[in-house]
């Protein structure tokens, strides 16, 4: 009985520690590595292997990260970074579905195993600048 009580107490402590972990405010910009101009479309995704946080990229390249909801930050940890939806819609006079589009960045950034982007969130920095390459031609 004492062992069951000890396990129960440990379980409650774990829930409190995990449940009370504080999200850290994270923002930044996504720019092109060749000229520093902003990426103006898509979403930045932080993935720690269990959960994902995401933020829309604004027209000026800026983003504010959210974990459970938009703009509420992320817990401390190491994250693989991907970028999705970074496309420009092309004219579609024939109403083709899905509409034709053009990738704005190299396709490697859409996959966590090839993006080569990582970020460590530890409270020492709340602004991150992410540089991406244009598509290879």
Q: Which residue is associated with the tokens 């540089």?
A: 131
Q: Domains of the chain (ranges plus CATH)?
A: 24-132 (2.60.40.1120)
Calpha distance 61→42 (Å, rounded): 9
> Mean pLDDT across the stretch 46-53?
92
62: CB partners within 8 A, 6+ apart? 27, 28, 29, 38
User: Which band of pLDDT confidence, cut at 50, 70 and 90, is reported for residue 128?
Assistant: very high
- What residues does 118 pair with on adjacent strands? 80
pLDDT of residue 19: 47
> Mean pLDDT across the stretch 93-119?
92
Q: Which residue, 107, 98, 114, 113, is CA-closest to 135?
A: 107
Asked if the model's pLDDT at residue 71 lies above 80, the reply is no
Q: Evaluate whether 108 touches 9 at the Cβ level (below 8 Å).
A: no
Q: What is the mean pLDDT of the chain?
A: 86
Q: Is the dihedral of CA 102, 104, 105, 111 positive or negative?
A: negative
**Strand segments (E) across the chain:** 27-32, 43-47, 52-56, 62-64, 77-84, 87-89, 101-103, 117-121, 127-132
Could you report the per-residue pLDDT of 2-30, keeping only the tens digit for each?
Answer: 555 555 545 444 444 444 568 999 999 99
């Amino acid at each position: 009985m004492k062992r069951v009580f000890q396990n129960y107490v440990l379980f409650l402590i774990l829930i409190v520690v995990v449940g009370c972990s504080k999200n850290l405010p994270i923002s930044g910009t996504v720019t092109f590595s060749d000229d520093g101009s902003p990426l103006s479309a898509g979403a930045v995704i932080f993935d720690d292997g269990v959960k994902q946080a995401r933020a829309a990229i604004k027209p000026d390249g800026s983003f504010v990260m959210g974990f459970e909801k938009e703009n509420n930050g992320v817990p401390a940890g190491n994250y693989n970074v991907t970028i999705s939806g970074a496309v420009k819609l092309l004219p579609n006079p024939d109403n083709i579905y899905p509409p034709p589009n053009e990738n704005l960045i190299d396709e490697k950034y859409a996959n966590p195993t090839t993006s080569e982007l990582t970020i460590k969130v530890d409270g020492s920095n709340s602004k991150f600048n992410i540089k991406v390459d244009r598509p290879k031609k």
